[in-house]
Amino acid sequence: MKILVCISNVPDTTTKVSFTENNSKFNTQGVQFIINPYDELALTKALEITEKVGGTVTAINVGLAETEPSIRKALAIGANDAVRINAEPADAYFVAEQIANYAGSLGFDLILTGRESIDYNGGMVSGILASLLNLPSVNVITSIEVDGNTAIMERDIDGGKEKLSCNFPFVASAQKELTEPRIPNMRGIMAARTKPLQVIEAQSSAIGSSTQSFELPAPKGACKMIDASNAGDLIRILNEEAKVI
């Protein structure tokens, strides 16, 4: 089984978001970057699968050199090799196109992404990628079992769950329950230093969307306190004052 795992390099979840250059750029000053949490699940699942049925796991990132610590971490967790496509990831379409260009002829049986990248929250890369490669896509999987040439999966759907099957090759996106993320051990960290990390130049692509400016939400007014001894009054206030019930 040949598996490709797509890794997005994202600001740590505790990041206080701010912007520079007239609110046109995300302020990376002092920001700690991590592997997107859903991509860690995808990577761990890929390793669990290859440990069971054999095969290799390749990690891929579209990003500039500054993303290499995250890529090395993916190697330390257990990916066999990694690829970085050297470009600033302009939007989901651009990222998907670059990955499709790379993966097109290499015969991956399974391509895994996260459910969404926690920075831009698009949730679009896996579907675009699958469509460009003419492969089926299965979003938000919470389990996957390999049975010969077929995978049996569960996924979240609106209002419930679905069990479904799909023959390899296909693209799937990882949802929270898929597995528990693996933490790199000392041996993994040592081995990662010498594992292959290939850098490929990006191919030109029509970028369909570009961020013009960012805004922060309006600050909340002061919190109105309701006395605990009169807690039932909350319902009246929500009805008469806030008008939400």
Partner 1 sequence: MSVLVFAENSDGIFKKSTLEAISYAKEVAKITGGNCTAISIGNVNQEQLSLLAKNGAEKIISFNHDSVNNFNAEVFSKIISETAKSENSKTIVFSNTYSGKSVAPRTAASLKAAIVSGVISYPDLSNGFTVKRTVFSGKAFANVNMSSEIKVISITPNSFVINETNDALNIIPASNQVDANDFKTKSIEVSKASGKIALTEAELVISGGRGLKGPENWHLVEDLANALGAATACSKPVSDMHWRPHSEHVGQTGITIKPNLYIAIGISGAIQHLAGVSSSKVIVAINKDPEAPFFKAADYGIVGDAFDVLPAIINAAKNRA
Ligand X SMILES: Cc1cc2nc3c(=O)[nH]c(=O)nc-3n(C[C@H](O)[C@H](O)[C@H](O)COP(=O)(O)OP(=O)(O)OC[C@H]3O[C@@H](n4cnc5c(N)ncnc54)[C@H](O)[C@@H]3O)c2cc1C
- Give which of 30, 11, 19 is closest to 213, Cα–Cα: 19
8, interface contact from partner 1, ligand X, none, CB < 5-8 Å by kind = ligand X
Q: Could you give the CA distance from residue 13 to residue 38 in angstroms, rounded to a whole number?
A: 12
CA 101 to chain CA mean position, Å: 19
> Under the criterion CB under 8 A, does residue 87 sit at the interface with partner 1?
no
Place of tokens 């196109």: 97
> Under the criterion CB under 8 A, does residue 55 sit at the interface with partner 1?
no
Per CB under 8 A, the list member of 92, 111, 174, 197 interacting with partner 1 is 92
Sole window of 49-57, 59-67, 87-95, 101-109 interacting with partner 1 (rule: CB under 8 A): 87-95
CB 175 within 8 A of CB 117: no
> Under the criterion CB under 6 A, does residue 78 sit at the interface with ligand X?
no
How many chain residues interact with partner 1 (CB under 8 A)?
81
Q: Could you give the CA distance from residue 118 to residue 210 in angstroms, rounded to a whole number?
A: 18
Residue 18 region by backbone torsions, left for phi larger than 0, else alpha for psi between -120 and 50, else beta = beta
Shortest distance, position 231 Cβ to ligand X, whole Å = 12
> Which x/- pattern, by CB under 8 A, does the window 145-174 give for partner 1?
-------x---xxxxxxxxxxxx--x----
Q: Could you give the CA distance from residue 40 to residue 79 in angstroms, rounded to a whole number?
A: 11
Residue 194 or 204: the one with the smaller Cβ distance to partner 1 is: 204
CA 230 to chain CA mean position, Å: 45
For the record, the structure tokens of 218 come out as: 């309006």
CA distances from 115 to 156, 176, 229 (A): 11, 8, 44
> Under the criterion CB under 8 A, does residue 212 sit at the interface with partner 1?
yes
Q: Could you give the CA distance from residue 3 to residue 108 in angstroms, rounded to a whole number?
A: 6
188, interface contact from partner 1, ligand X, none, CB < 5-8 Å by kind = none
Shortest distance, position 100 Cβ to partner 1, whole Å = 9
Region 110-169 residues binding ligand X, contact defined as CB under 6 A: 113-114, 116-117, 119-126
> Which x/- pattern, by CB under 6 A, does the window 190-219 give for ligand X?
---------------------x--------
Q: Could you give the CA distance from residue 53 to residue 31 in angstroms, rounded to a whole number?
A: 39
Per CB under 6 A, the list member of 7, 46, 49, 75 interacting with ligand X is 7
Report residue 107: phi and psi, to 5°: 65, 40
17, interface contact from partner 1, ligand X, none, CB < 5-8 Å by kind = partner 1
Residues that bind ligand X (CB under 6 A): 6-8, 13, 26, 36-39, 60-63, 88-89, 91-92, 95, 113-114, 116-117, 119-126, 211
